[in-house]
Amino acid sequence: MKRFNDKAVLITGADSDIGRTAALRFAKEGANCILVGINHDILEYIYEDLPQDTTWINTGNHMTVTSDVNEPVQIAKLIEHVLQKYERIDVMVNIDTEVGIHKSVIPELIKTAGNIVNVSTLTDIPSDWNIDIYNAEQDSLSAITKALALENASKGVRINAVTAGLVTTDDSPNPFVSHCPLGKTATPVNVTDAVTFLASDDAAMITGVSLPVDGGVSALRK
């Protein structure tokens, strides 16, 4: 069963490993994917890998938009561009970007009883990294997500988050693993599993939740 059949799914930060993995999953489950990021070449590379619905008579059922979603003018143009093609937005997956875009997208999600999944990831370990800074960043996203969820619940819009630990594509040693009960880092697929669940009707009664995909790091917090 395709959980997102014919739904328009807007993915910000799509020009990333998680963005690519999420786009492939949503597309395979029937979604029309809008890939948004600042690297045009990477977006086009991901687009070429997405399964297309050959019954469409236009240029394809997915699209890429090179845009900085931290800029209000560019956000407005992005939303206009998406609505011109799809006339709707059902899901927004917001990967490692500011939540300012929510103000423009939520009015469209009210029309479709749609939802948002905010995604916060740690894709590298800077020299000044420590677990307290990581926890503070995750707490901030969780608080914002909960506030937005409560504000928009009566309008039929669900808003959740995936707070991921270090996300890698290999098993190279790193400082994060020393804090991780499972002894390993998450992969883009692990994060995408959580994102698609929260975005789907399987999570129809879930809003305001921040789902940690961190190998148990959050379970150690007091």
Which amino acids are annotated catalytic? 134
Closest CA to 213 of 147, 169, 161, 175: 161
Calculate the alpha carbon distances from 138 to 61, 101, 173, 209, 214 in Å: 34, 19, 22, 12, 11
CB 180 within 8 A of CB 215: yes
What token pair was written down for 43?
Answer: 């977006």
